[in-house]
Structure 1
């Protein structure tokens, strides 16, 4: 029994070590980006926070005057979402993300209204940054 616990502990340590570099780089990127917040995004939108959710670096972007429910009903809503999906590539140039560009980390943005209702989320793998210039 004792050797089984020892082996399980060793296996956990090895698995943690394998993902350690990505996890450390992800935390450093989050810390660097969070230090500059809040920050303007576009129009009245504000980048409010950045967090780590699993393997994703997630920016929360708030619309203080918007209403997610009404906006999702607008006939051009999908155009807005696609524009933000395309603009997500601009994050590729952020210096804090340099160490993540060859990793399995996902970059995401979550757009919220003043009541915390979600307009939409966009995401892409950080490794896609090298596919075409931002």
Structure 2
């Protein structure tokens, strides 16, 4: 599921030629991920939707991973539901909402991934959704700026 960003050669050449400090390689530093993780972890656990709870957040490689627990049902049984894929697709779309969290902002121009892992009360995984932080909607990358 790892995604790799393709960098623009002309943009990179411009950054090198102009010596602009604002131009960065976009790599994710472990320190930035750790700082974001620590800030988010300090607010947990907290409700997600209905009976789901955001239980923890961790750094796994270049991904920031929220673990969201359901006290009801079991992952194995739920995955057999004919509408299971609809739920997973809805959560993949909902993941974009995490982009607007001010704590996430330092990751939006990096190679970090944002991931949510939904688990049952026993730790069984219902599913995971993931997106590159760079894929966050443009309106969320300028905190406080009005959307176009």
Give the TM-score normalised by structure 1.
Answer: 0.81
Query: Which 4+ runs in 1 deviate beyond 2 A?
Result: 18-22, 130-134
Partner of residue 129, structure 1: 136
Q: Does 1:114 align with 2:105?
A: no
Question: What is the count of residue pairs matched by the alignment?
Answer: 117
Q: Compute the TM-score of the two structures, normalised by the length of structure 2.
A: 0.74
Alpha carbons of structure 1 residues 19 and 101: separation in structure 2 relative to 1, 3 Å: closer
Of 50, 75, 79, 2:86 maps to: 79
Change (3 A) 1:118 1:27: same
Structure with larger Rg = 1
Matched-pair contact (CA < 8 Å) for 1:28–1:96 = no
The answer for unaligned runs of 5 or more in structure 1 is: 1-17
Structure 1 partner of 2:34:
27
* Higher helix content, 1 or 2: 1
Which position in structure 2 is the counterpart of 1:60? Answer: 67
Task: Determine the C-alpha separation between the residues in 2 that align with 1:131 and 1:78.
Answer: 27
- What runs of 5+ residues in structure 2 fail to find an aligned partner? 1-24, 142-148
How far apart in 1 are the matches of 2:86 and 2:40?
27
1:90 has 2:113 as partner? no
